[in-house]
Structure formats: C-alpha cells, structure tokens
Amino acid sequence: MNNAEIVEVLNDLIRINNDRVEGYRRAISEVKDIDSDLKDLFSRFIANSENHRSRLSQKVASLDGEVETGTTNSGKIYRVWMDMKASFSGDNRQAALESCEFGEDAAQKAYKEALDAYQNLPANVLELITEQKAELRQDHDLIKQL
C-alpha cells in the first residue's frame, strides 16, 4: 500500500471525526438546559473526536499528505436527519440520543470498513485505527445505554 492510499484512509477517518464534532455540537444546541448531563457528555465526545482527528492528522502529515478539513456526505445527511428529527419531536433528549446513536453507528461502520478493507496498512496505522475504534465503541455503547 502506498502513502497516497494510506493518506486516503486516514482522511476518511478524519472526515468521520469532523462529522462527529459537528453532530455533537448540533446535539448540544438541541438539548434543553435541564439536560446538562448530556451537554457535558457531548462536550467530552467532541474533545475525543478532536483528539482522534489530531492524531490522524499527524499521521497524514508524516506521510507528506494533505489533511482533510471537510466532512463526509453521509455526515451531512446525518446532520439533516438530526435537524428534521429534532424539529418533529417533543422530547429533545430522546431525539438527540437517537440521532447520536445513528451517528455513532456510522463512525463504527467507517472504522470497521477501514480495518477490514485495508488490513495491509502499516502496523502503527492499524494500531491507531484499532485504538480509536475501541474508544469510539465505548462512546457508542454509552449513548445506546442512555
């Protein structure tokens, strides 16, 4: 696998983390002030994704690649879905949690696809992706539990 292909995989995961940051910012704006526990949780998830994005970006830079700054098309669809769901629901807490679970499922899928499709990635890249997927899985499971 050449550097350009590795950079492409890493940039896909950067976009997913960008989606996640934007999705949780949107979720914070949707939940009621009384749901400060969710706002704190979502803020923590944003920080996690910003950390993931930073570490992925460092790998891209070390491969002389250009770091992606945008989001995925599915991420844009996710945010539109979240907007529509929130506007039709009387229970913002439940709607926000359902939307976040949808986004967490998308993040898990993206990381799984990266690991399944690109098993010949360098060991240090595979390790990073595997570690981040596990961290995101914890967030996913917590959202599902709530």
**Angle 59-135-107 from CA coordinates, rounded to 5°:** 75
Contact indicator for 133, 108 with CB cutoff of 8 Å: yes
Q: How far apart are the first and last CA of the chain?
A: 40
Angle between helices 73-88 and 3-30 (to 10 degrees): 10
> Looking at residue 35, what DSSP letter applies?
G
Render 66-131 in DSSP notation, one character per residue. PPP-S--HHHHHHHHHHHHHHHH-S-HHHHHHHHHHHHHHHHHHHHHHHHHHTTTS-HHHHHHHHH
Structure confidence by residue, pLDDT tens digits, 20-59: 898 888 888 878 888 899 999 999 999 999 999 999 999 9
pLDDT of res. 90: 53
Q: Which tokens belong to 122?
A: 């360098």
Q: Kindly tell me if the per-residue pLDDT of 91 is higher than 70.
A: no
Residue 17: pLDDT band with limits 50, 70, 90: very high
CA 70, 131, 23, 109 torsion: positive or negative? positive
Q: Is the pTM of this model over 0.75?
A: yes
- pLDDT given at position 22: 86
